[in-house]
């Protein structure tokens, strides 16, 4: 569950609380604009309160419920260009997003995060 | 503008480059590509990563350098030194290391179990008695020259490099020394393979003329603004091989609600704070207040973009074939200290990746028609002079009988 003050956002979590950038991107690309806008409208007015709440915890030692909430905010960052730049999930006139892929660089991951790509896909090449 | 000579600003500053259109042939010719590989990519210093990626003895990674038909193994030795070797077994040529990265005490070839130390020495040959006059001490991994600059690892596939790395980087290397690269330990990295010539990819990032057009939705007013509507660069410095292109930063960008949220909680590209005092001389070289970032082009294929807000990007462009290029991007940031900064970082990553996705689309669309024969030349305006300079350097080396450093 999400932390108590934000438990009403729980219905969004199964779709948008994702630890990996590649999963957040896939969710953005697989969603309709209506779904993206619904998520944006629900979380955006709460963001200052959410970040104030999360700032109480060190990034590399967050309780699980707080971490799920942090991941939810990272999905807002992922979909913000869809809302404010493009009006569609993908980049207009863009390169295929699935062919421009996150790569892990050891010892350079932000604190407390899983690698950007799941282990099984690290060695496949296009 | 040099009115007397009728020349525009950069053409007047670098008259030796001329103002002619540049030919399309070098972007589509397999023969030209073969000469680029032989005369440039097998001869010059190439960036392959940062030293923090391999902090401990035995940490290693492999870089495939298709332009030199080589696989290069980069490893931290027991003595702490970083070395590079051809990733090729002395026995029957198999690649010794098949994974992109790893950690080990010795390298064992998967084919017949020959094993090598972290210093490249051949340590063990199974069934050694069955070989004829085996000289193990002569059969280590073939070394590749490796050197560090400000924590960046460079390799050189020339068995006898014509210059040291420091000499090769020259004035550009000196002028950027001292920026705190090592403190930017939160990195987002991406990789794409694009169906284009490597110079089509390089050229797309050597000018800001495209910004108000290609990035009209994502970054419409970052490098352009009321005082500079067509994103003219602040400065262009052309070294013998390398380049610095200093890019304007609009202080009055329009902020959307997420931008405003980010500004409240962390760094934003849209609201820049430029600190002048502690920059090395090569950064923001003309000391402008409305400075966004610099593009430093390390010939032939390595870019560094250092931003006024204290983050930097690198691009590596790897030729695979005359019309295929691997594009690697890294966005290096200071590590976030709390969730607000982490969110800001993710947003910055997201908008910059949007911009790069827009850039990448132009590459394949360009390459797909370059060989049509409809046009024989590309027309460059004055603010695209870095493309002309890169072309001239490449062309000079392609025409040199034995490539970089052999005829000068």
pLDDT bracket for residue B404 (50, 70, 90): confident
pLDDT digits (tens, 9 = 90+) for B370-402: 999 999 999 999 999 999 999 999 999 999 977
The pLDDT of residue A126? 36
Q: What percent of chain B has pLDDT over 70?
A: 96
Is the pLDDT reported for residue B3 higher than 60? no
Rounded CA gap, B206 and A52, in Å? Answer: 41
Is the pLDDT reported for residue B276 higher than 60? no
Rounded CA gap, B312 and B310, in Å? Answer: 7
Is the pLDDT reported for residue A123 higher than 80? no
Q: Which residues of chain B from 60 to 99 reach within 8 Å of chain A, CB to CB?
A: 99
Mutate to test the interface with B, among A20, A61, A107 (most CBs of B within 10 A): A107
Among A55, A80, A101, the residue with its CB nearest the CB of B340 is A55
Residue A91 and residue B53: Cβ atoms within 8 Å? no
Contacts of B345 in chain A (CB under 8 A): 110
Contacts of B338 in chain A (CB under 8 A): 54-55, 58-59
A82, closest residue in chain B (CA to CA) = B354
Q: Is B261 on the interface with A (CB under 8 A)?
A: yes
A123: in domain: no
Compute the C-alpha angle B272/B273/B277, nearest 5°.
140
Residue A70 and residue B257: Cβ atoms within 8 Å? no
Is the pLDDT reported for residue B4 higher than 70? no
Rounded CA gap, B376 and A105, in Å? Answer: 41
The pLDDT of residue B285? 94
pLDDT digits (tens, 9 = 90+) for B159-191: 999 999 999 999 999 999 999 999 999 999 999
Strands B59-65 and B70-76, by their bridges, are: antiparallel
pTM of the model: 0.95
Is the pLDDT reported for residue A120 higher than 90? no
The pLDDT of residue B406? 63
A19: in domain: yes
Q: Is A74 on the interface with B (CB under 8 A)?
A: yes
Q: Is B326 on the interface with A (CB under 8 A)?
A: no
First to last CA, chain B: 33
Quickly list H helices, A9-94: 13-16, 21-30, 33-43, 47-54, 64-81
B51, closest residue in chain A (CA to CA) = A107
Domain with A65, as residue range(s), is 4-115
Tokens 């407390």 correspond to A112
Contacts of A126 in chain B (CB under 8 A): 192-193
Asked if B205 and B375 touch (Cβ cutoff 8 Å), the reply is: no
| More confident call, B277 vs B172 | B172
Residue A78 and residue B189: Cβ atoms within 8 Å? no
Asked if B249 and B290 touch (Cβ cutoff 8 Å), the reply is: yes
A126: in domain: no
Contacts of A73 in chain B (CB under 8 A): 339, 343, 346
Give the closest residue to B106 by CA, choosing from B92, B91, B85, B133.
B85
Is the pLDDT reported for residue B1 higher than 80? no
The pLDDT of residue A36? 98
B344, closest residue in chain A (CA to CA) = A77
Give the closest residue to B214 by CA, choosing from B231, B228, B191, B239.
B231
Rounded CA gap, B182 and B180, in Å? Answer: 5
Is the pLDDT reported for residue B277 higher than 70? no
Average pLDDT estimate for B340-350: 96
pLDDT digits (tens, 9 = 90+) for B45-84: 999 999 999 999 999 999 999 999 999 999 999 999 999 9
Strands B302-307 and B82-86, by their bridges, are: unpaired
A121: in domain: no
Q: Write the CB contacts of A110 (distance below 8 Å, at least 6 apart in sequence).
A: A59, B186, B335, B336, B342, B345
Is the pLDDT reported for residue A125 higher than 60? no
The pLDDT of residue B275? 60
Mutate to test the interface with A, among B51, B329, B331, B346 (most CBs of A within 10 A): B346
Q: What's the whole-number average pLDDT of chain B? A: 94
B358, closest residue in chain A (CA to CA) = A94
pLDDT digits (tens, 9 = 90+) for B192-239: 999 999 999 999 999 999 999 999 999 888 888 888 889 999 999 999
Average pLDDT estimate for A66-80: 98
The pLDDT of residue A14? 97
Contacts of A48 in chain B (CB under 8 A): 261, 264
Is the pLDDT reported for residue B272 higher than 80? no
Q: Nearest 10 degrees: CA dihedral of A92, A94, A96, A100?
A: -130
pLDDT digits (tens, 9 = 90+) for A22-62: 999 999 999 999 999 999 999 999 999 999 999 999 999 99
pLDDT bracket for residue A124 (50, 70, 90): very low
Average pLDDT estimate for A82-107: 95
| Domain count within chain A | 1
| More confident call, B405 vs B323 | B323
Judged by DSSP in three states, B232 sits in coil
Rounded CA gap, B18 and B3, in Å? Answer: 16
Q: Write the CB contacts of B145 (distance below 8 Å, at least 6 apart in sequence).
A: B84, B155, B156, B157, B158, B161
Give the closest residue to B74 by CA, choosing from B168, B153, B190, B185.
B153
Q: What's the whole-number average pLDDT of chain A? A: 92
pLDDT bracket for residue A114 (50, 70, 90): confident
Q: How does DSSP classify residue B407?
A: -
Compute the C-alpha angle A79/A84/A85, nearest 5°.
95
Tokens 């330990």 correspond to B185
HSE toward the beta carbon, residue B341, CA cutoff 13 A: 14
A122, closest residue in chain B (CA to CA) = B100
ipTM over 0.90: yes
The pLDDT of residue B81? 98
Question: Per residue in A105-114, is it b (16+ CB within 10 Å) or e — as a string?
Answer: bbebbbebbe
A99: in domain: yes
The pLDDT of residue A116? 73
Contacts of B183 in chain A (CB under 8 A): none
Q: Is A104 on the interface with B (CB under 8 A)?
A: yes
Count the Cβ atoms, other than its own, within 10 Å of residue B217: 18
A122: in domain: no
Domains and CATH numbers, chain B: 10-18+178-399 (3.90.380.10), 45-168 (2.102.10.10)
């Amino acid at each position: 569950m999400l932390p108590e003050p934000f438990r009403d956002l729980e219905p969004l979590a199964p779709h948008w609380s994702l630890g990996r950038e590649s999963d957040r991107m896939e969710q953005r690309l697989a969603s309709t604009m209506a779904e993206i806008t619904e998520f944006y409208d629900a979380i955006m007015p709460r963001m200052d309160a959410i970040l104030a709440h999360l700032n109480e915890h060190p990034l590399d030692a967050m309780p699980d419920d707080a971490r799920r909430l942090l991941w939810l905010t990272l999905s807002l960052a992922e979909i913000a260009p869809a809302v404010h730049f493009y009006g569609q999930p993908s980049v207009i006139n863009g390169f295929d997003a699935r062919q421009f892929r996150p790569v892990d660089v050891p010892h350079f991951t932000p604190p407390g995060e899983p690698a950007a790509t799941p282990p099984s896909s690290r060695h496949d090449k296009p | 503008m040099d009115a007397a000579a009728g020349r525009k600003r950069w053409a007047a500053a670098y008259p030796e480059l001329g103002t002619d259109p540049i030919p399309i042939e070098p972007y589509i010719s397999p023969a030209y590509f073969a000469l680029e590989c032989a005369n440039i990519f097998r001869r010059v210093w190439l960036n392959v990563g940062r030293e923090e990626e391999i902090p401990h003895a035995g940490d290693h990674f492999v870089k495939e350098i298709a332009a030199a038909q080589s696989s290069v193994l980069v490893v931290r030795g027991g003595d702490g030194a970083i070395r590079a070797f051809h990733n090729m077994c002395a026995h029957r040529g198999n690649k010794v290391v098949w994974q992109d990265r790893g950690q080990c005490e010795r390298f064992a070839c998967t084919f017949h179990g020959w094993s090598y130390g972290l210093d490249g020495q051949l340590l063990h040959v199974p069934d050694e008695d069955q070989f004829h006059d085996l000289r193990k001490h002569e059969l280590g991994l073939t070394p590749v020259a490796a050197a560090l600059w400000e924590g960046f690892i460079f390799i050189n596939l020339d068995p006898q490099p014509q210059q040291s790395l420091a000499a090769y980087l020259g004035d550009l290397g000196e002028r950027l020394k001292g920026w705190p690269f090592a403190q930017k330990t939160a990195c987002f990295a991406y990789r794409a393979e694009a169906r284009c010539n490597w110079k089509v990819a390089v050229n797309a990032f050597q000018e800001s003329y495209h910004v108000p057009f290609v990035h009209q939705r994502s970054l419409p007013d970052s490098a352009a603004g009321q005082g500079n509507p067509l994103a003219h660069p602040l400065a262009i410095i052309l070294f013998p091989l390398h380049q610095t292109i200093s890019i304007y930063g609009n202080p009055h960008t329009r902020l959307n609600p997420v931008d405003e949220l980010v500004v409240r909680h962390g760094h934003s590209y849209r609201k820049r704070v430029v600190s002048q005092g502690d920059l090395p001389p090569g950064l923001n070289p003309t000391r402008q207040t409305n400075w966004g970032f610099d593009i430093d082009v390390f010939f032939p294929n390595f870019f560094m973009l250092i931003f006024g807000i204290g983050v930097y990007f690198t691009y590596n462009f790897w030729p695979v074939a005359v019309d295929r290029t691997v594009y690697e991007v890294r966005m290096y940031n200071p590590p976030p200290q709390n969730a607000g900064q982490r969110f800001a970082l993710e947003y910055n990553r997201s908008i910059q990746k949007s911009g790069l996705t827009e850039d990448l689309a132009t590459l394949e669309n360009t390459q797909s028609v370059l060989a049509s024969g409809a046009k024989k030349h590309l027309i460059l305006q004055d603010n695209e002079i870095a493309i002309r300079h890169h072309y001239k350097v490449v062309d000079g080396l392609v025409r040199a009988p034995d490539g970089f450093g052999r005829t000068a």
